[in-house]
Structure 1
Amino acid sequence: MPNSKARFIILKIVIAVMFAAVIWKLFDLQVLKGEQYYEIANDRMTTNIVEKAPRGEILDRYGTTLVSNKVGYSVVMQKTDVKDEEFNDIIKKLVDIFYSTQCEYYDDLPISFAPYQFKFEDENEDGSVEDEREAWFKNNSHLGKGIEENMSADQIMQAYKEIYKVSDVYSEDEQRRIVGIRYAAEASGLSQTTLFTVADDISVDAVTQIKERQDEFKGIAVINDYIRQYDAPGLATHILGRTGKINAEEYEANKDLGYGYNDIIGKQGIEKWGEQYLRGIDGTTGTTKEVNGKEITVMNDAEPVPGDYIVLTLDSDLQKVAEKSLADTIQNIRASSGVKAKDGADCDAGSVAVIDVKTGDLLAGASYPTYDMSRFNEDYETLINNDAKPMWNRLVSGLYSPGSTFKPLTAIAALETGNLNVNEIIEDEGIYKFYADYQPTCWIWGEYKLTHGKQNVSAALENSCNYFFYEVGRRMGIDKLDEYAKKFGLGEKTGIELDEEVAGHMASPEYKKEVVASATDREWFGGDTLQAAIGQSYSLFTPIQLANYAATIANGGTRYKVNLIKSVRSSVDGGVVKEFNPEVVEKVDMDDEVINAVKQGMKRVVDEGSASEIFANYGIAVGGKTGTAQVGNGSNNAVFIAFAPFDDPQIAVSVVLEHGVRGTNAAQVAKDIFDKYFDLDSADTTAEPTTATDVQGGLLR
């Protein structure tokens, strides 16, 4: 009996232990590791295949397609149960195919091939990569992989080789390629449910090789995808912008909007500004797999919804003329330069803007040098190493001294503030002697020891008489000059739908204190006002600002927000999603007598003055102003603003040529644009411009 009781107690203990073990296992499976096993079970049973939505198209004002989509092939990777060594071998074979077929693939590791060096990109375009470097180390040093901020590029490469178990059996280049893809895949959240896009827009040859050897590529698949297509390659590149794979910073900012690690996002230009409209809604197809591998489709699939399309204010035909004339003129200046110093041999860049005077619409906007977005990946290294910075949008980001093109503003400000009368005569004495310690000269005195004699405001604009504008600038003072510059949008953003736009700045005592280091030199002197009055000193404006300033003069004082978008429309039914109408920013109250006197002076510049050699016997009347700005040791910058027709202005133009020698050279680009817009018979636009020393620019102190 005692033995039976003992056995019963032992049996109860055994059962209790077994029960406790079962309870513990259930707790482990459902609580401690529940999420992990749920994911594994779910991955085994269910897969959601994302069907990418096509991105919205971008059209010009007349419906000409500038950016669309084409169906291409992408290579995607799914996490499988293969070991590191096998995974590395799969990647090596895949990259071999990419190289043999000249296909690009994603590699986000900011380290070059051997000898290893960091190669961070200046993504925020602030002129430095230090913030990108700091952010990268911050994002990677906390992952428990031995990555520390003081490590060299070589040390980090060695660390990743160990992390990913990359064998020395591969060559050094092959090791770097394997590490690069594995790093990019991991950074993109590769898992059994999250696919990583290894490459997109691959060739048919690459597709064929991968599919023929599919058994060698476990976890690799080729899918149909939408690829951005540029229907007029190279046209309006800086305005249209580019797309690219979302980076870590962009993902963090947009993940709540449904973006994934592998999504494409607008990086620059309209592609960036219009992201909220252009991006469609991805579709999904759900499938289940039984244990034996049989696939069964799950109902309730979601169809992709294409992104909306954007209609721009650009006239693509006028854009072509603007870009060609800008490029041809710059190349002709270089070709016609000789051995004389500062004769244009260094002319290598510029910008042009064309604005509808009555609406503020940008009809054309060009920045030179430019590039072909359809070849961005292939040409990237060449582009970033080009000293002329072809990826920089000078239209809205380039800052230039306006030179004598600023004089119409000085005239308006002086007349409207009562510091000058329309009929008042000021005699040019060659040397301006009001200040004992600073006595600048008129350009004609400096060149020929001559003067312009007696000048009213219209004649002073025609002759670009520095003496005249020294005097009225001094009378008025810098505060009034700054006030009127702001009214005309100089030193202010135009509001154009491009995130790259900068404000620039008008010369002022406050700004001088910001940029001048010496305490003594930071003081504002009377001579600073004289220089500001002729468009020199510390004033720096963008080409788009100069065009809008010219448009505001042309229409009598209405400054519009510069508009690049006409409308956003639905790709599903063509309905209007958003309409963009003209928006008045400022109404400059000007007496008719004042604006007429200034505009007459600008007409005389074209009819009889510095631009007359370009517009001789022209078919319509034009108002304009040439300008030149000295820039360090190089050739002078050439600047020109204009509007036409004179009696009923429709468009305004600004042209800036870096090291273009003289404003007359820039006028050639404006003429070509007027020829096209007004359908005038044009002379040969490739004729070589003259390169004589400019007599329109003010002299620097």
Structure 2
Amino acid sequence: MDFNQAFKKKYKKQKKKKSQLPFRLNILFIAVFLIFSLLIVQLGVVQILNGEEAQRQIDQTENTPTEKSVPRGKFYDSNYDLVVDNKAVKSITYTPPKNGDTADDKLKLAEDLASYITIYKEEEELEDAVTDRDKREYYYLENTEDIQDRLTEEELDLDPSERYQKELDAITEEEIENFDWNHDLLNVIAIRKELDEAQELSSHVVVNEGLTDEEYALVSEHLPQLNGIDAVIDWDREPAFGETFNSFLGGITSSDEGIPQDRSQFYLANGYKRNDRVGTSGLEEQYENVLRGRKEKVQYTTSTRGEVLSSDVVVEGQRGKDLTLTVDMEFQQAVDEIVQEELETAINNPANNNGYLEDALAVVMNPQTGDILAMSGSHYNREDKEYENQAYRTIYDAHEVGSSIKGATLLAGYQEGIVDIGSVLVDESLYIQSTPTFSSIGAAMGPINDLTALEKSSNVYMGKIAIQMAGATYQRNEILHNFDYAAFDKLRSYYSQFGLGSSTGIDLPYEATGLAGSDVDQGNLLYMAIGQYDTYTTLQLAQYVSTIANDGYRMKPRLVNEIREPSGEEGVPGKVIESFEPEVMNKIDMDQKYIDRVQEGFRRVYTSGTARSYWSGIPYEVAGKTGTAERPQYNEDGDKIADTDNLTLVGYTPLEEPELAFAVIVPENGTEGETHKAHHEIGKRIVETYYDMQEEQSEEDEE
């Protein structure tokens, strides 16, 4: 074979091999294409037909969040003594899975949980908690097919809720009565009932009250087998001073209540869960955003069977911030004791046996800063014959306060140009048609000036200011001619500058502003000028006298003066986050010389006027005004059956740079004898106690 033939033969062989290679590659490419096509088809099936179920499985196994409560902020008084603390409470909670549990699942979980805990320790409590419907629902789960067979064709076609009710109704009374409802089974039903209360993705407290340490430990040990169950630490409020000041500290919802239903949209929009505990009154409600803290948020990874595989803290919890009060709790306790003791003395006085006196109220504040120093109210429960702390009445109950407001009336007269410093008017009985005789207490005083009108509490002097404010002319036994009824609003406008008849601005969620009289009879303008027409609260009265004491500057009352960071040291507040400065609400629209004149009149009330006999022995400078508003009592037929008086007292001390202002109301007191001392004794003892405590504090500081 020559060289050319050999080369051709070899070339043919190589060509044959090369021609086989693309064929094999084509086979391989086709195989790969078919495999990818099958994968794409399978992916489409999963995505389109089973996507929702697949996502549910992913969510269930990789994204199961829960939140753990943190302690609320604490309260401290003005001396940084702890007022409200938190008490740890062991709790068992249940958080339903995203896809929800079936009725059978919850029953099985309840049976498992019942082997470790008993919700109600007393048999009677357990029997009361499990209702007839609860028993029927359990019986239905155990006998579903049998009960469903009892329904008619029409009943089977009803919507699910109506059909379910028919099924429950199909269970006979005899079946319920003859079933063995033993303690263990009732416990299971009670637990299942609590599980049903849980909202989707919101943990619900199954039990906390009465939960023993042993039960808590058993549940904690078996959490992996109890899907959705957690053993957590919840928190209850623990006041350090019992009932003292509780009316204003306020309350919070229980674990079972959660957020109030009537405000659920508001709370849900602000990131709350339905079972979150929130402040419902007082400072707990007013400062909810400060006190609530930030919940710890934990994300669990669980298996499809609900077993916890791992957990991560995604948001660290933080206790709520603390509040420092303006109130010294020791002084508050002393004022509470004073008010109750003097109320008790008045009620036990024979001259007071009219059966109407039940309350004594007092507010003490710093007129220069608006700081509330004490708010106290004692109520006598005649049915139970017990004295109850009802301090909240100082901001909710409004009364006719009598002559205590004459300082505001005189200042209005000055400003209107009706009277001036030293103006003399005749104190005499006024006879106005269709109006009872209008006169001062006791004999007519004749010509008196403005200072005497305050010192001796002339009704007529103030009444004549009101008549001239209305632009009217007085003629004996006739109506007031040319009477301008706009005078009612004009006089109220002056009063509102002192806080009378308007909001005081105190940092509490609710506050009464009193009631304006609705009968615009001419004579009632005169009675309004002496505090016997419109009604005011004790707090309004305290702000009024504070405004006069503070040279016409009306300060906003406040109970909180600081917000502080939580402290790591027990019983010691953290650093200050925010400090609230005293806030001036308004300066009364009156010349300072007139305010000085009223201050002098208020001084004379205590040194030589209507309060002198009760205050002559006190070694401190005090100024203010007394008040008596007649409160006759009538039966259903409109017949008068008793005479009572609202006794009031306002004051401040010392005269220069006053530190303390007070208002006292003893409503519907007797009209004779020693009972008239009740308001004076309360005011006098408050002043004495304040100075005694100041002296003790000074001695301690020196040491």
Give the stretch that moved more between structures: 414-423 or 197-206: 197-206
- Does residue 1:319 correspond to 2:312, yes or no? no
Q: Distance in 1 between matches of 2:652 and 2:230?
A: 57
**Counterparts of 1:20 and 1:212, CA distance in 2:** 47
Query: Aligned match of 1:69 in 86, 93, 108?
Result: 86
Select between 89-98 and 53-62 the one with higher mean Cα deviation. 89-98
Give 1:438 deviation, angstroms.
2.4
| SS of residue matched to 1:266 | coil
Alignment partner of 2:365 out of 335, 351, 355:
355
529, 539, 546: which one aligns with 1:551: 546
Matched to 2:543, the amino acid is N
Which stretch shifts more, 384-393 or 485-494?
384-393
| In structure 2, distance between residues paired with 1:161 and 1:646 | 81
Say whether 1:264 aligns with 2:290.
no
8 Å CA contact 2:295–2:316 kept in 1: the answer is yes
Q: Distance in 1 between matches of 2:603 and 2:576?
A: 42
Indicate conservation of the 8 Å contact 1:201/1:227, yes or no. Answer: no
Shift in alpha-carbon separation, 1:294–1:647, aligned structure 2, 3 A: closer
Note the alpha carbon deviations across 1:466-496, whole angstroms, 9 max, x for none.
2222222212233442221121121111111
Identity %: 23
Specify which of 437, 441, 459 is matched with residue 440 of structure 1: 437
- Whichever residue aligns with residue 430 of structure 2, its letter is Y
Work out the CA distance in 2 between the residues paired with 1:302 and 1:101: 42
**Correspondence for 2:506:** 496
3-state secondary structure, aligned to 1:467: helix
Match of 1:331 among 326, 335, 344: 344
SS in structure 2 at match of 1:243: coil
Aligned to 2:452: 459
Aligned match of 1:585 = 585
Q: Does 1:240 align with 2:249?
A: yes
- How far does residue 358 in structure 1 lie from its aligned partner after superposition? 0.9
Map of 1:30 onto structure 2: 51
Distance 1:207 1:427, change over 3 A: farther
Contact 1:348/1:369 (CA < 8 Å) preserved in 2? yes
Between the aligned partners of 1:465 and 1:254, the Cα distance in structure 2 is 54
In structure 2, what is the equivalent of residue 606 of structure 1? 606
CA distance in 2, matches of 1:493, 1:632: 28
Describe the SS at the equivalent of 1:488.
coil
The residue type equivalent to 1:195 in the other structure is S
Give 1:315's aligned amino acid.
D
TM-score normalised according to structure 1 size:
0.71
State the match for 2:122 in structure 1. 100
How is 1:217-232 mapped onto 2 (pairs within 5 angstroms)? 221-232=230-241
* Secondary structure at the counterpart of residue 422 of structure 1: coil
8 Å CA contact 2:361–2:391 kept in 1: the answer is no
Task: Give CA-to-partner distance per residue, 1:584-632, whole Å, 9 cap, x none.
Answer: 1111244444233322332232233443343231011111222222345
Q: 1: CA distance between counterparts of 2:184 and 2:665?
A: 47
Q: Which moved more, 1:41-50 or 1:606-615?
A: 41-50
Q: Answer whether contact 1:629 1:636 (CA < 8 A) is retained.
A: yes
Give the C-alpha shift of residue 330 in structure 1.
1.6
Using the TM superposition, give the Cα deviation of residue 278 of structure 1 relative to its aligned residue in structure 2, in angstroms. Answer: 0.9
Question: Structure 2 CA distance, aligned partners of 1:594 and 1:476?
Answer: 17
Counterpart of 2:467? 474
What is the CA distance between 1:275 and its match in structure 2? 0.8
Q: Give the Cα separation in 2 of the matches to 1:405 and 1:575.
A: 43
Partner of 1:195: 203
Q: Distance in 2 between matches of 1:504 and 1:112?
A: 48
Say if 1:314 and 1:364, in contact at 8 Å, map to a contact too: yes
In structure 2, relative to structure 1, the CA distance for the partners of 1:436 and 1:503 (3 Å cut) is closer
Structure 2 gap ranges (5+): 1-39, 135-158, 471-486, 569-573, 634-641, 696-703
What SS does the aligned partner of 1:493 have?
coil
Give the Cα separation in 2 of the matches to 1:102 and 1:643: 57
Question: Quick one: distance in 1 between partners of 2:424 and 2:279?
Answer: 56
1:656 counterpart SS class: strand
Q: Give the whole-Å Cα distance in 1 for the aligned partners of 2:133 and 2:426.
A: 65
* Structure 1 residue 652, shift from structure 2 partner: 0.8
The whole-number CA distance in structure 2 between the counterparts of 1:348 and 1:161 is 56
What SS is found at the alignment partner of 1:359? Answer: coil
- Mapping of 1:52-201 within 5 angstroms? 52-79=69-96, 83=104, 97-100=119-122, 145=161, 169=179, 186=196, 188-189=198-199, 191=200, 193-200=201-208
Q: Which amino acid aligns with 2:50?
A: L
Contiguous gaps of at least 5 residues in structure 1: 1-18, 114-142, 148-155, 371-381, 513-521, 683-701
- 1:679 Cα deviation from its structure 2 partner: 1.6
Q: State how far apart, in whole Å, the 1-side matches of 2:576 and 2:652 are.
A: 33
CA contact (8 A) 2:367 2:546 kept: yes
- Displacement of 1:465 in angstroms is 2.1
- Contact 2:296–2:317 under 8 Å retained in 1: yes
Query: Alpha carbons of 1:222 and 1:187: their partners in 2 closer, same or farther (altered >3 Å)?
Result: closer
1:282 shift after superposition: 1.0
Q: Deviations over 1:107-126 (max 9, x none)?
A: 9x9x999xxxxxxxxxxxxx
- Paired residue type of 2:327: L
Q: Which has the greater radius of gyration?
A: 2
Task: Determine the C-alpha separation between the residues in 2 that align with 1:51 and 1:300.
Answer: 10
Equivalent residue letter for 1:355: M
TM-score, with structure 2 as normaliser: 0.71
> Post-superposition shift, 1:409?
1.2
1:398 and 2:403 matched: no
Kindly indicate whether the alpha-carbon contact (under 8 Å) linking 1:101 and 1:203 is maintained by their aligned counterparts in 2. Answer: no
Residues 72 and 202, structure 1, Cα contact 8 Å, conserved in 2: no
Please name the residue that 1:411 is paired with: 410
* Greater mean deviation of Cα atoms: 476-485 or 42-51: 42-51
1:358/1:555 contact within 8 Å kept:
yes
Q: Does 1:670 align with 2:680?
A: no
CA distance in 2, matches of 1:175, 1:459: 82
Q: Secondary structure at the match of 1:72?
A: strand
- Letter of the 2:540 counterpart: Q
Question: Secondary structure, in 3 states, of the residue corresponding to 1:98?
Answer: coil
Q: Which residue of 2 is the match for residue 532 of structure 1?
A: 528
User: What SS does the corresponding residue of 1:50 show, helix, strand or coil?
Assistant: strand
Q: Are the aligned partners of 1:46 and 1:286 in contact in 2 as well (CA < 8 Å)? A: yes
Q: Deviation of residue 269 (structure 1)?
A: 0.8
Given that 1:69 and 1:228 are in contact with CA atoms closer than 8 Å, whether structure 2 keeps it comes out as: yes
Superposition CA RMSD, Å? 4.6
